Amino acid sequence: MSNRRYVIASIPGDGIGKEVIPVGQEAADAVADRHGFSIEWRPLDWSCERYDRTGRMMPEDGIDQVKECDSIYLGAVGWPGVPDHVSLWGLLIPLRRDLDLYANVRPVRLLEGVTSPLAGRGKADIDFVVVRENVEGEYSEIGGRLYRGTEHEAAVQETVFTRRGVDRILDYAFELAKTRPRKHVTSATKSNGIVHTMPFWDERFEAAKQRHPGVGTAQFHIDILTANFVLHPDWFDVVVGSNLFGDILSDLGPACAGSIGIAPSANLNPSRALPSMFEPVHGSAPDIAGKGVANPIAAVWTAAMMLDFLGEPEAAKTLEKAMEAVLTDPAARTRDLGGTADTKACGQAILKAIAG
In the complex, minimum distance from the CB of residue 96 to Mg ion, in angstroms, rounded to a whole number: 12
In the complex, minimum distance from the CB of residue 332 to ligand NAI, in angstroms, rounded to a whole number: 14
Nearest Cα residue to 1 out of 39, 38, 40, 36:
36
| Dist. CA 116–CA 126, nearest whole Å | 9
Angle in degrees, CA 191, 141, 143, rounded to 5: 75
Q: H-helix or E-strand containing 240?
A: strand 238-241
In the complex, minimum distance from the CB of residue 250 to Mg ion, in angstroms, rounded to a whole number: 6
Report if residue 247 touches ligand NAI, rule: CB under 6 A: no
CA 170 to chain CA centroid, Å, is 17
Restricted to residues 242-301, the positions that interact with Mg ion (CB under 5 A) are 247
| Dist. CA 74–CA 63, nearest whole Å | 14
In the complex, minimum distance from the CB of residue 6 to ligand NAI, in angstroms, rounded to a whole number: 22
Taking CA atoms, 316 is separated from 96, 105, 300, in Å, by: 23, 16, 10
215 binds, options ligand NAI, Mg ion, none, Cβ within 5 to 8 A by partner type: none
In the complex, minimum distance from the CB of residue 201 to ligand NAI, in angstroms, rounded to a whole number: 25
Report if residue 336 touches ligand NAI, rule: CB under 6 A: yes
| Dist. CA 250–CA 130, nearest whole Å | 6
DSSP state of 79: B
Among 133, 136, 279, 342, indicate the residue that binds ligand NAI (CB under 6 A): 279
247 binds, options Mg ion, ligand NAI, none, Cβ within 5 to 8 A by partner type: Mg ion
284 binds, options ligand NAI, Mg ion, none, Cβ within 5 to 8 A by partner type: ligand NAI
Report if residue 77 touches ligand NAI, rule: CB under 6 A: yes
Binding residues for ligand NAI (CB under 6 A): 16, 20, 76-79, 84, 92, 260-261, 279, 282-288, 294-295, 298, 336
